[in-house]
Amino acid sequence: MASNDSDSQMKIVHGDAGYILEDVPHFADYIPNLPVFSLSLSLFRSSSITYANCIALTHSLADRLCTTFFFLQTYPNPLRSNPAYSVVKQYFVHMDDTVPQKVVVHKDSPRGVHFRRAGPRQKVYFKSDEVHACIVTCGGLCPGLNTVIREIVCGLSYMYGVNKVLGIDGGYRGFYSKNTITLTPKVVNDIHKRGGTILGTSRGGHDTGKIVDSIQDRGINQVYIIGGDGTQRGATVIYEEVRRRGLKVAIAGIPKTIDNDIPVIDKSFGFDTAVEEAQRAINAAHVEAESIENGIGVVKLMGRYSGFIAMYATLASRDVDCCLIPESPFYLEGKGGLFEFIEKRLKENGHMVIVIAEGAGQDLLTESMQAMDQKDASGNKLLQDVGLWISHKIKDHFARKDKMPINLKYIDPTYMIRAIPSNASDNVYCTLLAQSAVHGAMAGYTGFTVGLVNGRQTYIPFIRINERQNKVVITDRMWARLLSSTNQPSFLSPKDLEEAKKAESPTQLLEENNCNDVGDAEKEQPPKDEQESGNHTDNGIKTQN
């Protein structure tokens, strides 16, 4: 039984045992199907034309009707005749294939929320030569952007015979203020070996009316939008305007976030590459610190609101003594403070490494510097440099007569870790994401973000992606693993800890087996059904275990 909550644009399908499909929009939701088959049958019955000619006649009539009156016409998926795919027994995804959002369940758990599985369908809603696609990259850089671009272009060409693909220059504003860039497999052949985005990116400049006008004027009918939480919100309003105008234009989002601040998906492409690159900076800081008496290495990593890179780089490195993230408040002076911990660790080991996410400690900075609540062109908070600030505070503290002399080295690799090309595993991940987006658009789905959920490519409704930011939950097992690895204090007063625990579902702490695996990155506020079932997963990035 399907219901369409028009306010939230969420297509809900209910099944047995508490099964809920949070489906994604499809052209058929708002564009009438053209009954070609019944047309050809009635033509055959009412004339002396052979049935084959009736089919041919109605198809050519239908093509004209579909282009002028936006009727829907379906075609067999050209992959049927593609030698590379014909060997696969069951290449097409079954129309009822869905992926569960929660995989840690009890024997009586309701089946819960599911998302539509990504992949090629038997029928497509575009003929190869009628597809006019475009690709746009928005927001901050992330390793793998060029790989996603490359694989969308090559996927459209090699799998679906599509050769009209445009690149939008410089983010959303490029739709209406720049010329487009023609993209072919030849043009993009080796771009995956380069960091950044060949299309350029930007913040701000999102004008829904102008963007959809340019899509319509250019005759574009597939739009692939690569970007983070802000970009996906921008894609949502573009989809809503396209639907309002009744246009047969597929809007497909590919999530990109170096901070891993997008919910629902297991992780963002580029995240593993960024964590791997951060190791180089942490190793350098560790070498500097251990090579001199009372050496302290300070490394600032990206993470405006979410500290996943700092957390995972710390867990991977094992050379870090203290990891500070936006989600976990800390304080400097007094008992249990950072200065006390530094003194203790230097006496124990003679050196230490501190990793701090750029969004950590901003509350302390605003106390000690004039409050700066400036925002970037997209409305994101502009941060003060917490790395420099904490380095100065530590130096000043230990410069006092009664304190031990220290040698502090500060390393800031923030932009380095996002401007590099993606590593091998992220390249494969980018390929699967790009191809899933292409399959979805060709199959007539729209208004979706493609993403890995429990290790399966899925189509996720925009509203699920936009409803919150993904953050580290400091009362969860993954953060506990970090604290046990660094042996740092939690810097939380008993009152803070109690508040943090209250912020989680009350049954979470009782449901031992719901918190024991490295689940998908935890949401700030799990959806209602998760709170009720107490089914809460760890922080962290889902790995196949």
Ligand X SMILES: O=P(O)(O)OC[C@H]1O[C@](O)(COP(=O)(O)O)[C@@H](O)[C@@H]1O
Active site residues: 259
Rule CB under 6 A: is residue 259 a binding residue for ligand X?
A: yes
Q: Is-contact 512 484, C-beta < 8 A?
A: no
Rule CB under 6 A: is residue 139 a binding residue for ligand X?
A: yes
C-beta of 58 vs 466, nearer to Mg ion: 466
Q: Is-contact 341 402, C-beta < 8 A?
A: no
C-beta of 233 vs 456, nearer to Mg ion: 233
Q: Which of 136, 158, 131 is nearest to 148 (CA)?
A: 136
Q: Residue 229: is it exposed, middle or buried by C-beta count within 10 angstroms (0-12/13-18/19+)?
A: buried
In 3-state terms, what secondary structure has residue 124? strand
Rounded Cα distance, 545 and 446, in Å: 32
Complete edge-to-edge strand list for the sheet that includes strand 322-324: 322-324, 351-357, 295-301, 407-411
C-beta of 180 vs 232, nearer to Mg ion: 232
Phi-psi category of residue 102: left, alpha or beta, with phi > 0 → left and psi -120 to 50 → alpha = beta
Rule CB under 6 A: is residue 358 a binding residue for ligand X?
A: yes
Q: Is 530 annotated as a binding residue?
A: no
Residue nearest to ligand ADP (CB): 139
Q: What are the backbone dihedrals phi and psi of residue 357, each rounded to the nearest 5 degrees, phi first?
A: -75, 145
Q: Is 416 annotated as a binding residue?
A: yes
- Least Å distance, CB 297 to ligand ADP, is 30
Residue nearest to ligand X (CB): 140
Q: Which of 105, 131, 102 is nearest to 114 (CA)?
A: 102
- What's the token pair of residue 536? 């809460």
Q: Is 257 annotated as a binding residue?
A: yes
Residue 205 partner contact from ligand ADP, ligand X, Mg ion, none using kind-dependent CB cut-offs of 5 to 8 Å: ligand ADP
Binding-site size, ligand X (CB under 6 A): 13
- Least Å distance, CB 128 to ligand X, is 34
Q: Is 64 annotated as a binding residue?
A: no
Subset of residues 212 to 251 that bind ligand X, contact rule: CB under 6 A: 228
Q: Is 417 annotated as a binding residue?
A: yes
Q: Which of 124, 125, 233 is nearest to 172 (CA)?
A: 233
Q: Residue 234: is it exposed, middle or buried by C-beta count within 10 angstroms (0-12/13-18/19+)?
A: buried
What is the torsional sign of CA 327, 330, 336, 341? positive
Which residue spans within 371-473 are E strands per DSSP? Answer: 407-411, 448-453, 456-461
Residue 508 partner contact from Mg ion, ligand ADP, ligand X, none using kind-dependent CB cut-offs of 5 to 8 Å: none
- Least Å distance, CB 227 to ligand ADP, is 4
Rule CB under 6 A: is residue 140 a binding residue for ligand X?
A: yes
- Least Å distance, CB 353 to Mg ion, is 28
Question: 91-126: b or e for each residue (b if 16 or more CB lie within 10 Å)?
Answer: bbbeeeebbbbbbbeeeeebbbbbbbbbbbbeebbb
Q: Is 233 annotated as a binding residue?
A: no
Amino acid letter at 137?
T
C-beta of 157 vs 202, nearer to ligand X: 202
Rule CB under 5 A: is residue 228 a binding residue for Mg ion?
A: yes
- Least Å distance, CB 139 to ligand X, is 3
Q: Is-contact 256 226, C-beta < 8 A?
A: yes
Q: In the stretch 18-37, what mask flags binding to ligand X with x, by CB under 6 A?
A: --------------------
Rounded Cα distance, 146 and 191, in Å: 6
Rule CB under 6 A: is residue 447 a binding residue for ligand X?
A: no
Near Mg ion by CB under 5 A: residue from 22, 151, 169, 229: 229
Q: What are the backbone dihedrals phi and psi of residue 295, each rounded to the nearest 5 degrees, phi first?
A: -80, 135
Rule CB under 6 A: is residue 102 a binding residue for ligand X?
A: no
- Least Å distance, CB 143 to ligand ADP, is 14
- Least Å distance, CB 234 to ligand ADP, is 3
Residue 270 partner contact from ligand ADP, Mg ion, ligand X, none using kind-dependent CB cut-offs of 5 to 8 Å: none
Amino acid letter at 398?
F
Rounded Cα distance, 444 and 335, in Å: 61
Q: Is 303 annotated as a binding residue?
A: yes
Rule CB under 6 A: is residue 418 a binding residue for ligand X?
A: yes
C-beta of 25 vs 359, nearer to ligand X: 359
C-beta of 120 vs 228, nearer to Mg ion: 228
Q: Is 302 annotated as a binding residue?
A: yes
Q: Which residues bind ligand ADP (CB under 6 A)?
A: 138-140, 171-172, 202-206, 227-231, 233-234, 237, 378, 380
Q: Is 259 annotated as a binding residue?
A: yes
Residue 25 partner contact from ligand ADP, ligand X, Mg ion, none using kind-dependent CB cut-offs of 5 to 8 Å: none
Neighbours of 38 (CB within 10 A): 10
Q: Is 415 annotated as a binding residue?
A: yes
Question: Which residues does 107 contact at the CB level (< 8 Å), separation at least 6?
Answer: none
Subset of residues 286 to 305 that bind ligand X, contact rule: CB under 6 A: 302-304
C-beta of 117 vs 206, nearer to ligand ADP: 206
- Tallying the residues shown for the chain, one arrives at 545
The piece of 255-263, 277-285, 481-489, 533-541 that touches ligand X (CB under 6 A) is 255-263
Q: Is-contact 198 170, C-beta < 8 A?
A: no
Rule CB under 6 A: is residue 258 a binding residue for ligand X?
A: yes
Q: Give the strand pairing for 295-301 and 322-324.
A: unpaired
- Least Å distance, CB 199 to ligand ADP, is 13
Q: Is 258 annotated as a binding residue?
A: yes
Annotated binding site for ATP: 140, 203-204, 228-231
Annotated binding site for Mg(2+): 229
Contacts with Mg ion, residue ranges (CB under 5 A): 228-230
Contacts with ligand X, residue ranges (CB under 6 A): 139-140, 203, 228, 257-259, 302-304, 358, 376, 418
Annotated binding site for substrate: 257-259, 302-304, 358, 415-418
